[in-house]
Amino acid sequence: MGRVTKGAAAAAAVVTAGAIAMHRALSRPGRGNWPGRGSTGRWASRWQTVTVDRPPAQVAPKGQLPEPLVRLGDGVETRVRPAPGGRGTELAVRLRAGGSDVLTGMVAHLTGDDPRMALRTALRQAKQLAETGELLSPDRPSTTRRTLLNRPLEVATRHGRDQGRV
């Protein structure tokens, strides 16, 4: 078997394994972060959840949600409950209107028109306010001179608040 043939066989194996993993993730409703179908058969919005290192009485005093979540309005459903093991508070939010299918969600995500991004940002800000009392901003790069090499870091820093873990 030639070197090129081995490489093609390895690439085909990786693509096949990825396709199988994606199929399994999409076919199991209620699992992982992939959108799935709810009990009604419609695409359901997933809960976006953070654990806040404060008791529920401090996170949502008298049932009043943190300000970033209040800004989302009636279009979202929220849940506040004690975290397992007495480790603070679980703060969760999801869209009331339900989610979109996988393809529509991917397009919305790539175009920056994904409503789930607002949920993630609001949750992150609510966690920061509850734990530190202020909204934190990422550190600026150590150099202020824009170069070709620091552009990726600049982009990652700018979008770091949009993506990743909540």
pLDDT tens for residues 20-53?
777 676 665 554 444 555 555 555 678 899 999 9
Look up residue 136 and give its DSSP letter. -
Overall average pLDDT of the 135-161 stretch: 75
Question: Can you give the residue ranges of every domain in the chain?
Answer: 44-136
DSSP run (H or E) holding 4: helix 3-27
64 vs 142: which has the higher pLDDT: 64
Mean pLDDT for the chain overall: 78
Look up residue 75 and give its DSSP letter. G
pLDDT (0 to 100) of residue 33: 45
Which is nearest to 102 in space by CA: 160, 153, 154, 32? Answer: 32
Look up residue 131 and give its DSSP letter. H
**Does residue 75 have a pLDDT over 70?**
yes
Q: Give me 21's structure tokens.
A: 């993993």
One-letter amino acid at 50 equals V
Which residues lie closer than 8 Å to 5 by C-beta, 6 or more apart? none
SS3 track for 41-69: CCEECCCEEEEECCCHHHHCHHHCCCHHH
pLDDT (0 to 100) of residue 53: 95
**Does residue 151 have a pLDDT over 80?**
yes
pLDDT for 79-118, tens place per residue?
Answer: 999 999 999 999 999 888 765 566 666 666 667 677 788 8
pTM (predicted TM-score): 0.59
Alpha-carbon distance of 90 to 52, in angstroms, equals 6
pLDDT (0 to 100) of residue 32: 45
Q: Give me 133's structure tokens.
A: 């009392």
Which residues lie closer than 8 Å to 48 by C-beta, 6 or more apart? 92, 93, 94, 116, 119, 120, 123, 166
Which is nearest to 116 in space by CA: 132, 140, 133, 96? Answer: 96
pLDDT band at 166 (very low <50, low <70, confident <90, very high): low
